[in-house]
Amino acid sequence: MRITTITTTGMTMITTLLDDFLIRAALAGVGLSLATGPLGSFVVWRRMAYFGDATAHAAILGVALALAFDLPVTFGTLVVALAMAVTVATLAARGWAMDTTLGVLAHSALAFGLVAVSFVPGARTDLSAWLFGDILAVSRADLAYVWGGAAVVLALLAWRWQALLTTTLNEDLAHASGLDPARERLILTVALAVVVAVAIKVVGALLIAALLIIPAAAARGLSRTPERMAVLATLLGAGAALAGLQLSLWQDTPAGPSIIAAAAILFALSAMFGRVRRG
Amino acid sequence: MSGLPGGRGMSGLITAEHLSVRLEGQAILTDVSLSVQPGEIVTILGPNGSGKSTLLRSLLGIVPAASGRVTRRAGLVIGYVPQRLAIDRTLPMTVRRFLSLPRRVADRDAAAALARVGVPEVAGRQMADLSGGQFQRVLLARALLARPQLLILDEPTQGLDQPGEAAFYRLIEDVRRETGVAVLMVSHDLHVVMAASDRVICLNGHICCEGTPRVVSSAPEYRALFGLGTQGALALYQHVHDHSHDAGEGHAHHHHHDHGHDHDHHPA
Ligand SMILES: Nc1ncnc2c1ncn2[C@@H]1O[C@H](COP(=O)(O)OP(=O)(O)O)[C@@H](O)[C@H]1O
Ligand SMILES: [Mg+2]
């Protein structure tokens, strides 16, 4: 759809247009990975993969509600994602069986979201964009949200970095050092909701968790410290975003899945390289 | 009168008064009172599941008290070594990096701490690759780097062989002598900690007996707790002997009932 529309316009126009939306798309991908690299590392370390899924799936419900009440979509996704993230974190703290609880919540949120979206006129046609992302259609405002959200998440993580790492390592140890593990968990919860809210446009609700986990997992085998893993996850995530974008542009494949596919290839390469290095 | 064993009360670094802890509706600790003085080494003994770890975690404020209370001296810095610290394989962590959590420490201090605990060579290694003994020493090094007034060590010699265990307790004693740090630790085996402890507390959901290692080793409550029997006349003699001549050595154990669960938890 994008490329065909573009080829109908004049040659010079194409170049400038291409430049413009491509640069926006590239900037969105890179901006997002600034947040998903470090946050995704925490998701991997703390085994929060399902948690990420539940929060991201809830965002679809947020889209439906925002459209129905004529509110900004980012606001809707942020509120609903935050509500889901806090619910999950609270249940986890109360000792609920997380595997089952998250399975129920993640899929129910998605189902309710999809049902709700079908009631909103016009939204149905855009559904695949919310599910799989539409990075090539990122507007200037979207870009501002992505970078703003990434900056908030990065600032939160940088501010609490030492405390978050200690809590992740062992909550008793954190407590004995005068930290409050519950507070650190809440910070990760909020950061996750913010990332979901700004990432939905780029990779879509179904694949946000993948963007968090796959680059971090790929970085693991190449890292000896948590900081190096977070930085590498960021670089690999940005690389995957650019490569996926390229593929999407070139073969007109859906952008979100293309980005995740590129990340998965990087993961496979890292796993092979890591094995060779280990001998 | 604080009602605490020894009557030393609020001068302690950390004090529990009539502390009871319930977890998931179960009474884990009942009416535990204890106090750790500056520079003192106190060892908690008790069988598995007797609430030793829960007591330490409650003193640290991790587990809330159901009744009674815990008081820590204002500004008290505690170095803690938990019983279990499983580092997830997905988290890359060198020993050097671990020592800087949560407070960053200078390379020099980190190297000195590792040397002090006898593992100067492991700084660049992954935590997950250490042997059990190296791991415990690194945990102790990290605890010491906080410059604590109190070390709380939960079975710090797990994974060590017997000579390693003896060396570890000597190390604890040396550190105490050098820095004046107080130590509250958990152990299984009285005889290994004998030399290193000023005071021993036997725990089985409540405090069964308390005193110097020699006194406790012959207390019937202790022997019942560990299923040792009385070991005949010699032990009995030893017990009486301790009781009559070593009164100054510590306020011994509590009343000597014939049955196991009716102790008076207050000093006579
Ligand atoms: N978080 C918890 N929730 C419920 N029960 C617990 C918890 N931690 C420990 N317990 C129970 O408390 C009792 C004492 O455990 P613990 O303090 O670990 O004993 P010890 O360290 O002496 O082996 C055990 O019966 C254990 O099952
Ligand atoms: Mg224990």
pLDDT in tens, B21-33: 999 899 999 999 9
Determine which residue's CA is closest to atom 3 belonging to ligand 1. Answer: B23
- Tens-digit pLDDT profile for residues B189-230: 777 777 789 999 999 999 998 888 888 877 887 777 777 655
Phi, psi of B128 (to 5 degrees): -70, -15
Give me the helices (H) in chain A, please: 2-7, 11-45, 49-68, 73-93, 98-119, 127-132, 140-159, 161-169, 171-176, 181-203, 208-220, 226-251, 255-278
B103: CB partners within 8 A, 6+ apart: A162, A177, B145, B146
B229: CB partners within 8 A, 6+ apart: B223
So what's the pLDDT on residue A4?
A: 53
Tell whether omega for the bond before B156 is within 30 degrees of 0, i.e. cis. Answer: no
Query: Given an 8 Å threshold on Cβ–Cβ distance, is B62 in contact with A162?
Result: no
- Tens-digit pLDDT profile for residues B66-86: 999 999 999 999 999 999 899
- Ligand 1 mean position to B54 CA, how many Å? 6
Interaxial angle between packed helices A140-159 and A11-45, expressed in degrees from 0 to 180 and rounded to the nearest 10: 30
When pLDDT is cut at 50, 70 and 90, the band that residue A16 belongs to is low
* Residue numbers in B near A277 (CB within 8 A): none
Name the β-bridge partners of B26.
Answer: B23
Of B62, B102, B126, the CB nearest to A162: B102
Q: What SS3 state is found at A160?
A: coil
When pLDDT is cut at 50, 70 and 90, the band that residue B65 belongs to is very high
Q: HSE of A23 in the Cβ direction (CA atoms, 13 Å)?
A: 7
Nearest chain B residue to A175 by CA: give it: B62
Quick count: other Cβ atoms within 10 Å of Cβ B185? 23
Q: What SS3 state is found at B29?
A: strand
* Residue numbers in B near A168 (CB within 8 A): 91
CB B184 within 8 A of CB B49: no
Query: Given an 8 Å threshold on Cβ–Cβ distance, is B91 in contact with A162?
Result: no
Ligand 1 closest atom vs CA B48:
23
Q: Could you give the CA distance from residue A116 to residue A124 in angstroms, rounded to a whole number? A: 10
- For residue A174, pLDDT over 80 is answered with yes
Task: Give the type of residue at A216.
Answer: A
Report the candidate in B209, B265, B170, B249 with the shortest Cα–Cα distance to residue B217.
Answer: B209
- Tens-digit pLDDT profile for residues A71-130: 988 899 999 999 998 888 888 778 777 778 888 888 898 899 889 888 887 766 678 888
Report the candidate in A155, A77, A147 with the shortest Cα–Cα distance to residue A116.
Answer: A77
- For residue A3, pLDDT over 50 is answered with yes
Nearest CA to CA, how far is B104 from chain A (Å)? Answer: 8
Query: Given an 8 Å threshold on Cβ–Cβ distance, is B93 in contact with A225?
Result: yes
- For residue B242, pLDDT over 50 is answered with no
Query: Average pLDDT in the B172-185 region?
Result: 94
Give pTM, 2 decimals.
Answer: 0.85
